[in-house]
Structure 1
């Protein structure tokens, strides 16, 4: 049985992978068959849309779980869908149109886009570019230097891109420093390649990686994903350094950004290389009071 410490919430980053198996999954996604639905409709399968929006922070049905199963396009679903459309810079009509369905079909990070606060019957959302986790967990001033280590099964040729990512965060933050150590048990940050079913929080088909916010320190890559070591992009492969930059941001306390150019944005296509953006750097400086 895992301890409470090992059950800290992981943050997922999930990216689009061009493969026949994934294409089949996307074609069978029940949301695809709900296109055109809007407020007032009653359509079999609408509860799937409600579950999707609840998972990613747009609906809160904790106090009425039976409501989630209803196939009615009600006022709450209308408001949630418009909120989703606004977040992804779509036309906020409340209609499940083609562009909205397309966005929902892109494999994505499993962490919610928004933090929902229940207040009476209203759903209040906080949206910004860079974002922090609930209660803003961060490393104390005594831990501005962090050690990291790789699991014994971690491929040696995949180490340099992660080293570069740590160096980039150190230079850009002008606050954190990092050093690689050999003892993973004593390291602040622990990095491993894991199979989809690995015993803590399993990867879904298109989950790329996951990491803990402070002080969790765990960072896992999905070994079932095709990887490239860079520095140039490789078609249909995911860049290890780009993903490391994102996951290190989570390890330091950054949540997902709404800004698409930020490395902390929740999704990315295969064959893309990204670096830290002003939004990423500003986020870490605000979190740690470095401005």
Structure 2
């Protein structure tokens, strides 16, 4: 079995060459990362005025942590009370020491590639709230477990009885060798949840889920535009929208390869959004918002329990 797995890994390396741009072998050709502008702000704190703080505000606004009433307030370099509060909420969501300053640990987390779905929506932090009560029964005992899964506001989900979902690939943007990664991710959600099943369809109009690779602003609104390698790597929408987009400028791989993002891991995360899960504060959970390159993750108990709670199964 181990030999077969090793063989599959070697085959996957060949697929890698087809999944990523031809210049990806030379790190020197890579452009600056979208979130790299944050690095020179390390250590900044309330009361300071520092060039680039307006970009930090825009970052936090993008992911829901700031909601200034006026563009003027969001368009200055003052480290004010609102920015400090936003940083504290971010730090709480990511289980960091709550300092209200852009310390090195917070900065390291912020510059990681991440999902484009905001962590805070309409002032509500989805990573610490938006849970439905759920108890696990084991024989005559009722088990209470600590959970960190969350749902979109209003608990959108697929209709009762709608457990078989179809997905469609935009073959104009999706490389054929990338497709098995998505199929593998769907299969894992089926295996772990024992609730949903998935099937590919060639009919765009009737498909429940629509998958494609996109660049920059791609029709989802300027706020949801992709930003090149790193930064926002993918996004998907709550039920029953069905849109699932990956950033075509990322360096994608099949499996754990340094400097590349594992496509199946990212697909597992975005499918969670398609089913109704929002972000989790558990770093090992697939619904954690950010991911390092060269990392492969699987579904976590927190992800599975979240789906079971949402669909009462």
* TM-score category, normalised to shorter length: 0.7 to 0.9
Matches within 5 A, 1:194-213: 194-200=214-220, 201-205=224-228, 206=230, 207-213=232-238
Task: Compute the displacement of 1:77 (Å).
Answer: 2.2
Task: Compute the displacement of 1:146 (Å).
Answer: 1.0
Question: What is residue 238 of structure 1 aligned with on the other side?
Answer: 261
Distance 1:224-1:191 versus aligned 2 partners, 3 A rule = same
The answer for unaligned runs of 5 or more in structure 2 is: 1-23, 130-147
| 160-169 or 42-51: bigger deviation | 42-51
- State TM-score, norm by structure 2: 0.75
Confirm or deny: 8 A CA contact 2:116 2:233 kept in the other structure: no
Runs of 4+ more than 6 Å apart: none
Confirm or deny: 8 A CA contact 1:58 1:116 kept in the other structure: no
Question: What is residue 24 of structure 1 aligned with on the other side?
Answer: 32
Question: What is residue 167 of structure 1 aligned with on the other side?
Answer: 187
Task: Compute the displacement of 1:190 (Å).
Answer: 1.7
Greater relative CO, 1 or 2 (CA 8 Å, sep 6+): 1
Confirm or deny: 8 A CA contact 1:45 1:71 kept in the other structure: yes
Confirm or deny: 8 A CA contact 2:34 2:227 kept in the other structure: no
Task: Give the number of aligned pairs.
Answer: 264
Say what the alpha-carbon RMSD is for the aligned residues: 2.6
Question: What is residue 158 of structure 1 aligned with on the other side?
Answer: 178
Query: In the alignment, which of 124, 144, 155 is matched to residue 136 of structure 1?
Result: 155
Distance 1:253-1:21 versus aligned 2 partners, 3 A rule = farther
Equivalents in 2 of 1:44, 1:225: separation in Å? 29
The answer for unaligned runs of 5 or more in structure 1 is: 1-16, 118-123
Task: Compute the displacement of 1:25 (Å).
Answer: 3.9
| 208-217 or 188-197: bigger deviation | 188-197
| 170-179 or 108-117: bigger deviation | 108-117
Equivalents in 1 of 2:184, 2:36: separation in Å? 39
Distance 1:89-1:19 versus aligned 2 partners, 3 A rule = farther
For 1:220, what is the secondary structure of its paired residue?
strand
